[in-house]
Homo-oligomer: A and B are copies of this chain.
């Protein structure tokens, strides 16, 4: 059997960059991007799936590169007006972005699954590869902080990651069923590689790993499991990864991220800046330019990850 199936596990921004790179070098029918849904929440009566949406906008070439989140060509009339009406304005939703949430919510209420809705909406936006929620069942990341337990978006957007993190909990994960196609991909004889995208391990990757059977399946799968470090020179490109690591008693480093995946990781890609860490790492580790500022960088890093997998 030809090993051609690439399974990517991804959170939002950083992960979406590598997923976009993969989508340029892997045939769409051979690429399955599993998205974290631990960030999902209900707001303004809408079901919002931030990581699915970030992946969707990135792969549809609709991502807002000025803001670094949301949709391009966005307008803000809704949010401006909602604020004047006394509505909750702490989570900003652009007018175009809002349409995605409204349509998703309508279809969820009508009984469709998140996976089916995501498949249809991504297809309508011209995305050929498949973006799959890790589960159709709700998983909700909660952050235990020095200010108490916060829902993820309250911590992440509402409090801008300022509270000190003590631990993370993925409510619902124990009972959630990984999407059958995710399980099937992990068990597939045609699986070429699993790529853990450079997303925050604690809030983007570990909710996926918390689903029943996933860690075991990753450890058992015959294909190489490759991760790309989200830490460069002891810092996160974007987001609270490094701050969280410190608060959780870890030294922010590529090595500390790899340690979170020690039970299944076969290959690891770290930035040239972190060359000194390579020697101490157990998985096969290579150096690359991991800061993906252009499409060329994204494609090159995706190719590096596949080459590493193919070499193992």
- Smallest distance from the beta carbon of A124 to chain B beta carbons, Å? 6
Q: Does A100 interact with chain B (Cβ within 8 Å)?
A: yes
Given that A45-B45, A95-B95 are known contacts, is A103 also in contact with B77, CB under 8 Å in the complex? no
Contact of A124 among B80, B84, B94 (CB under 8 A): B84
B105 touches A81 (CB 8 A): no
A214 proximal to B (CB < 8 A) = no
A105 to B100, CA, bound (A): 18
**Which residues on the B side are within 8 Å of A77 (C-beta)?**
74-75, 77, 94-96, 99
Bound Cα distance A77, B79 (Å): 12
Q: Which of A69-124 contact B (CB under 8 A)?
A: 74-75, 77-82, 84-88, 94-96, 98-100, 102-103, 105-106, 109, 120-121, 124
Inter-chain CA distance A84–B109, complex, in Å, is: 20
| Assembly CA distance A88 to B105 (angstroms) | 13
CB–CB A81/B96 < 8 A: yes
Q: How far is the CA of A88 from the CA of B124 in the complex (A)?
A: 15
Asked if A85 and B105 make an inter-chain contact with CB atoms under 8 angstroms apart, the answer reads: no
Copies in the complex: 2
Beta-carbon contact of A98 and B78 below 8 Å: yes
Tell me whether A44 is interfacial, beta carbon within 8 Å: yes
In the complex, are the beta carbons of A85 and B45 less than 8 A apart?
Answer: no
Task: Pick from B79, B86, B87, B103: contact of A82, CB below 8 A.
Answer: B103
* B residues less than 8 Å from A98 (CB atoms): 78, 81, 95, 98
Give bound CA distance, A303 to B103, whole Å.
47
Partner of A99, one of B75, B78, B103: B78
- Could you give 23 example pairs across A and B, Cβ below 8 Å? A44-B106, A45-B46, A45-B102, A45-B105, A45-B109, A74-B77, A75-B75, A75-B95, A77-B95, A77-B99, A78-B99, A78-B102, A82-B99, A82-B103, A84-B99, A85-B103, A85-B124, A85-B125, A86-B103, A86-B121, A86-B124, A87-B103, A95-B95
